Chain A
Amino acid sequence: MEAHVARNLLVAGLALAAGLAAWRVRRSPFWSERLAEVAWRRPLALAVIAGFAAVAALDTVSWRGAPEGAGLTEPRSALVRVFPDEFREASYSAPFADVEFYGGAPLRHPGRHVLGTDILGRDVLLLTLQGAKVALLVGGLTCLIAVPLALLFGVPAGWFGGRLDDLVFFLVSTLASMPSILLLIALVTAIGRGPVQVCFALAVTGWVGFCRLARAETLKIRELDYVQAARALGVPTRRILWRHVLPNLTHLIVITFVLTFSGLVLSEAVLSWLGLGLDGSWGQMIDQARDELSRAPVIWWNLGAASAALFTLILAVNRVGDAVRDVLDPRTVRERA
């Protein structure tokens, strides 16, 4: 199967999963009430996140065929079709400019570049929008690796205790004792710099805190009456963990997912600056724009666009994360009331 078809299917799969999750939430009074409260408190932030997700989806869904019959064979994404390559310039141009930034030669497509163009004449708005996909990939994929990893180690450690608990605790404290940025760098240098490798490295450094939390929470749930009752009735352990323990960790999973997300995207920006980040990320744009600040006159729109996009997404996720924690964490409910 061709790569772009696989990516299209992935987007369809993600959309299906989102729909399924929405259906499940609607059926559960608890979750639909909580979700409604988050939406009521943070409508703007949620809309921003949905917007970035939509842009990322548009940037992924791609097909062959040229819009103007130019005979191009490379598959192009829906987003690229809005800002096609035909509108490339020779070099830098300022936002809304008619002439090139250095030299003043007339632009080939004046008025086309709302946020100007970069050194290669690429549209900065397109590059910035394309960064959304990378940011969501870093945050999302890493959480999808880290959270199951933490549950896989933390829940059995809390449930069975004994030697297994000691082993998991040893593993976790070993990983936690290495400075996280150094560990991250060491991992990426050792296992490679591809997108999946970087996400894996971020996950390895990030799962420790949640593993401790999952272990402690499992210890607590284990002693609750209904769990003891299920054990006395002879319900198999696997079924107890799946039906009684995991559902009671769900709120923690959701909180961790949202609160970790923004930290991961910021970590990726730091990695990009060290030359270890993902291609096309906002961190990489900021890194490249660093030298442009020392030019005269200053090229500011590259840096400005990437920084603004990064800041907007992180702020939106942080705000939603705070609301999610307030709504779901039983410890903060008291403060709210």
Chain B
Amino acid sequence: MTAWLARRLLWGAATVLGVLGFLFVLFFATADPEDIAKRALGEKAPPEAVAQWIANHGYDRPRVWNPADPTDTMLFEHYRRMLAFDFGRSDADDVPIAQRLRAGVGVSLSLTVPLFLLGIPLALGASLLVAFFRETYIDRAGVVLAVVAMSVSILIYILAGQYVVGVLLRWFPISGFDIDPAVVARFLALPVGVGLLHGLGSDVRFYRTVFVEETSRDYVRTAFAKGAGDGRVMARHVLPNAMLPILTHEVVRIPGLFTGALLLESFFGIPGLGSMTVDAINANDFATLRVMVYVGALLFIAAQIATDVAYTVADPRVRLG
């Protein structure tokens, strides 16, 4: 187990280095520093200001190889700073990126955590119901509904939600955010509802397949034969045995909770990390985008290792060696 964990962690570290290499190629090797500077300062910026900006943001070093001092290159500096979590300043407005991350992560979590926690029981409940009625018209209708729900773009869910609930019914505000926990629930209700509706279709389709496979096994027939009730069989026998795919499916979503829901945050005016990313795109803020991809990848790699460990806990048949 220890040897396995050490190998797994080593592999995770190698992947982190790979991600950083990829980001370097994407953002440093292809972009001309002068262009980046001019995007931040404007086309007509004086040459001295451009040179100063390039030096301040570390774009003035040789890219990969410096014969005088091998550590004084963009590549080395990129790895050193990212691995030390020294994210530097935004390319657009010089605000320290770490400060922005700290300010945005709580806001993002206040949207994504309810979405995640409400989404799991909703999806699992609906899928168990559909799987219980497999090969009947309820099942067919459920599958068709799930495919229909999947086929609607998230943009349409958001626009329709804002228009129907916010403008026509006037139940909740269309967009906005507040730090006060008493008020914020009113702002979050609509984005959470829209997010739940959007995720439900593909989740139900996925989990139905998982549950249908389980319900056709012998132990389910045995459980029914010994007289266990419908609800008991589905909840106590089928659900725990389907835990492996559920874990795989849900744990990899946890890193996404921190980086925020891009579209929901931006449409509903929630100032989290998703909105921050959208702003960075609109402002051509490469430094912030880079950090967002890096942080997202770090969290994802950590979550994958956690999933592998969780397998052993959830399913005694899995042994790691």
Contact = CB atoms under 8 A, between A and B. Distances in A.
A318 B296 CA distance: 29
B294 to A, nearest CB: 8
Contacts of B281: 185, 189, 274-276
Majority SS at the chain B contact face: helix
Given A186-B289, A189-B284, A275-B281, A175 B296 contact: no
A251 interface: no
Contact of B155 (A173, A183, A270): A270
A94 interface: no
B18 A311 contact: no
Interface in A297-320: 303, 307, 310-311, 314-315, 318-319
**Size category of the binding interface on chain B:** 35 or more
Contacts of B107: none
A63 interface: no
Nearest to B205: A322
Given A276-B281, A311-B151, A319-B147, A270 B263 contact: yes
B19 A310 contact: no
B18 A174 contact: yes
Contacts of B124: none
Interface string B263-299: 1000000000000011001101010011011001100
Contact of B293 (A179, A270, A303): A179
B262 A286 contact: no
Interface in B1-37: 11, 14-15, 18-19, 22-23, 26-27, 30-31
B118 to A, nearest CB: 22
A60 B259 CA distance: 41
A182 B148 contact: no
A293 B154 contact: no
B277 A178 contact: no
B19 A174 contact: yes
A335 interface: yes
B151 A318 contact: yes
Contacts of A266: 153-154
A273 B155 CA distance: 8
Nearest to A300: B163
B15 A174 contact: yes
A177 B299 CA distance: 9
A269 interface: yes
Nearest to A192: B30
Contacts of B284: 189
5 contacts: A181-B262, A187-B26, A266-B153, A314-B152, A315-B151
Given A178-B296, A262-B151, A286-B155, 7 more contacts: A174-B15, A177-B15, A177-B297, A182-B259, A186-B289, A283-B153, A311-B156
Smallest CB-CB A-B distances: 9 pairs: A174-B18, A179-B296, A315-B151, A314-B151, A190-B26, A177-B297, A178-B297, A269-B153, A177-B300
